[in-house]
Amino acid sequence: MALIAAGTAVLDRQICRPGWVQTAGDQIVACGAGAPPGPPDSDFPDGIVVPGFIDMHVHGGGGASYTDADQIAAAAQFHLRHGTTTTLASLVTAAPDTLLAGVRALADATRRGIVAGIHLEGPWLSQSRCGAHDAAQMRDPDPAEVDDVLAAGGGTIRMVTLAPERPGSDDAIRRFRDAGVVVAVGHTDATYEQTTQALALGATVGTHLCNAMPPLDHRAPGPVLALLQDPAVTVELIVDGVHLHPAAAGAVIRAAGPERVAAITDAIAAAGCADGAFQLGTVPVDVSSGVARVRGTSTIAGSTATMDRLFREVAAFGPDPDASLAGAVQMTSATPARALGFEGVGALRPGYAANLVVLDGDLRLTAVMARGDWR
C-alpha cells in the first residue's frame, strides 16, 4: 500500500485542503479530507493532487506518431510524462490498407495496455474542411470498409469522427453505435439540420468544436450551434491559445459547462520538440514558434500542446479559483472518461485506477502515478 498526502486534493469533485489518497496495487482503496490516517509514504504539503489526465484526441508527441507501429510506445510515454495516464490514440485519414494496418497496430498496443483505445479521425471527412488531413484519401463511408475496420480493431476502436453530410454516413453512424463505438461529428461542412440528424442517430461528440467546421452564422447556424445546444453532446476544445481565441473558449465553457467540455491536445509528433519539419500521416507539416501548419499554407495542423499545459489554461477561466480548479479537473479527466464510456478512471475515488498527477502551486506538474506506480 502507498499513502499519499497533499496540501490540496481534488477527490471526486470535492476540493480538500488537506487531502490524502491511499493506493494498493493499481487501485485507489481509500481517500479523504484532512490529515492522512497514518504516516504518508509520499507527502506533498504544497502540492495539488488531481486525477490523471485523459486525452481523447492525440496523434503523437515527443517526435513519435501513433501512425507508426514502432513509435506508439514512445508517443504514449511522452504524454504520460506530462500527466496523460489514459490515451485514446488518434489515426488520421489514410488509404484503406494503411488505415487497416494502423488500426491493427494500435489494437495490439491497446491489448498490451500502452494506450486505452483507438480514435479514427477519418477517412470519412469533408474535403472542404480537411484541415491537415489528406483530402485525396477522403471518401464516403462504405459498409464493407466499416466492417473491415471494426474487425481489425477487435473491440479497441472507441471513437470515430465523421462528416455526417457524406453519403452513407447515416448507416455508418448506426453501424458504429451498434458496435459500441462513440461517433463524433467533425471535419464537416454539415448544415444545422444534417448535424441534428446525426445526433438523433446517436452521435454524441463534437470533434475540436469550431475547428474544421463552418463558423456559427445567425441564418445558417451549422454544426456549432447544433452540437452546443444538445445536452447529450460532449464538445472537444483545443485550448492552446492557437486553435481558439481564449474568449471563444471561455464562452463555450460557460455555455456548455465543464461537464460537457473535454480539453484535448490534438497533439502531433512535434509536441515536445524544437521547431522544424514533421509529418502528419502523408501531409508535411512545419512548426514555427510552436505552431504546426501544413507546409506552405496557413492551415493549423494539430498542436504541440500537452495536457498539463491545457490544465493550466482551463484552470485560468473564471474568477473563482476553486471553481476553476474543479472545472479543470472535470474537463481533463471526468468529462472525457464519461464521453468515452471509460469506467474506473477520471476521478480519485475508491475502486478507481491509481492514476494521479501532482501539481505545484503554479499548477506545474511535479509527479505522475499511473496504475499505482510513480512514473
Catalytic residues: 266
For residues 100 and 148, the answer to whether their CB atoms sit within 8 Å is yes
Q: How far is CA 222 from the centre of its chain?
A: 23
Element (H, E) at 332: none
Amino acid at 152: A
Residues 6+ apart with CB under 8 A from 358: 6, 44, 47, 48, 49, 365, 366, 367, 368, 369
Distances (CA, A) of 164 to 91, 141, 172, 217, 230: 19, 10, 9, 19, 16
Amino acid at 126: S
Q: Can you read off the three cell numbers belonging to residue 104?
A: 491493427
* Distance separating alpha carbons of residues 339 and 334, to the nearest angstrom: 9
